[in-house]
Amino acid sequence: MSQPSSGTIAPVEEIHWRSLIAAVAAISAVGIAIGLGLPLLSIIMEKRGISSTLIGLNSAMAGLASMAAAPFTTKFAHRHGVAPTMLWAVLLAAVSAFGFYYITNFWLWFPLRVVFHGAITVLFILSEFWINATAPPAKRGFVLGIYGTVLSLGFATGPLLFSILGSEGILPFVVGAGVILLAAVPIFLARDESPVIDEKPERHFMRYVFLVPTATAAVFIFGAVESGGLSLFPVFGTRSGFTESQAALLLTVMGIGNFIFQIPLGMLSDRVKDRRTLLSAMTVIGLIGALCLPMLAESWFLMAVVLLFWGGCVSGLYTVGLSHLGSRLQGADLAAANAAFVFSYAVGTVAGPQAIGAAMDVTGNNGFAWAIAGFFGLYVALSVVRIVLNPKRP
């Protein structure tokens, strides 16, 4: 594929499958590594007698590392190339994954977390940039739907691997590192198709957070609701009268909605004139669904039906938001905006559980639903203001 000197990729009409496979392989590694690593490390720390507070503090380093790595990723890729940077990130992530097995000093796990999740963040950002830059404009939503579906599958596969492998011995670390290293193969094979960042981004990193606020706010809400919901829904469910297994099954239903709606929503985003309208519609559905949760506590089936569609709308914020980002920017600006996108997601994953947990402490069990509704309400207000102020801006 030819690369224009400006650092952008010539418009394409067909999907470049080598690029798609490379980006999907990278995001698969991200999903599986996080899905396997988070419960694995938490269980190991608990077995070693580490307090819950310190376990939570160590786990929080993931979000902090993502926020720290995001501003520098584009600069590094500009200097060394997208594919080489991703290959170095794969190597660092795999080596640090092994480090958790060989390093037993708990305090050294803090810098190790920074290295591991920093490298994972680099893969996250550059795989999204790669796939957004090379996706045909008319099929961008569909391609990103595939991308989001695979990411969801990776997040689901990680805990499944953990349930099979357990936390004893080196095997789970070998499998985790091996999955990450396997991502290097398609990245290396497609290295000649990776987008080139010839120019430095024109703006300071934080300005990209506000350059496309409809997209970055969408992924912030996604991160907050997803992480807060996954962390605290079991508490909400059991306090509402469901058994632990029923609450866990409801989370599974929500995960199914997350999985099956990615591609349809991506394809729908290719057909709408203004993706902001679709994002607004999904947040309205999310808001209504959240407000309905306290009223559904008497019926597991109705709760499951709502969570199926609700999970799809929540996941759609990521896919459609990313598609909106790709339709607005290109080249170095797109790479920097992708970094800001992941940064906003990381902020959401830190803020969500804190806000939802505090709401439950202050207002009782229904605070779970009220806090999530609050997040969606903020986005609805933002999107309405944006559409009113910029009705002709896509």
Question: How many residues belong to the chain?
Answer: 394
pLDDT at 3: 42
Q: How many CB atoms lie under 10 A from the CB of residue 249?
A: 15
pLDDT at 5 exceeding the cut of 60: no
Distance (Å, rounded) from C-alpha 372 to C-alpha 291? 9
Distance (Å, rounded) from C-alpha 114 to C-alpha 123? 14
* Each residue's pLDDT tens digit, 155-174: 778 777 887 888 888 999 99
pTM: 0.79
- Yes or no: say if 263 and 151 are a contact pair by the CB < 8 Å rule: no
**Element housing 391 (H / E):** none
Distance (Å, rounded) from C-alpha 155 to C-alpha 152? 5
First to last CA, the chain: 28
Which DSSP symbol is given to 49?
Answer: T
On the 0-12 / 13-18 / 19+ scale of CB atoms within 10 A, 21 is middle
* Each residue's pLDDT tens digit, 330-383: 778 888 888 888 899 888 888 888 888 888 888 888 998 999 999 999 998 887
* Each residue's pLDDT tens digit, 193-232: 888 877 776 677 778 888 888 888 999 998 888 877 777 7
pLDDT at 11 exceeding the cut of 70: no
Residue 12 pLDDT grade (very low, low, confident, very high; cuts 50, 70, 90): low
Distance (Å, rounded) from C-alpha 279 to C-alpha 66? 25
Residue 95 pLDDT grade (very low, low, confident, very high; cuts 50, 70, 90): very high
Instruction: Tell me what the mean pLDDT of segment 227-250 comes to.
Output: 80
Instruction: Tell me what the mean pLDDT of segment 104-111 comes to.
Output: 91
What is the percent of the chain with per-residue pLDDT over 90, rounded to a whole number?
14
pLDDT at 157: 80
pLDDT at 230: 72
pLDDT at 1 exceeding the cut of 50: no
Query: How far from 344 is each of 200, 254, 273, CA to CA, in Å?
Result: 21, 23, 25
* Each residue's pLDDT tens digit, 21-74: 888 888 888 888 877 887 788 788 888 888 767 777 787 788 888 888 888 888
Coil vs helix vs strand at 51: coil
> Residue 5 corresponds to which amino acid?
S
What is the percent of the chain with per-residue pLDDT over 70, rounded to a whole number?
94
pLDDT at 118: 92
* Each residue's pLDDT tens digit, 307-345: 888 888 888 888 888 888 888 777 788 888 888 888 998
Radius of gyration of the chain (CA): 20
pLDDT at 8: 42
Residue owning tokens 């830190």: 350
pLDDT at 10: 46
CB neighbour burial string for 53-76, b if at least 16 within 10 angstroms, e if fewer: eebeebeebbbbbbbbbbbebbbb
Average pLDDT, the chain: 83
pLDDT at 391: 60
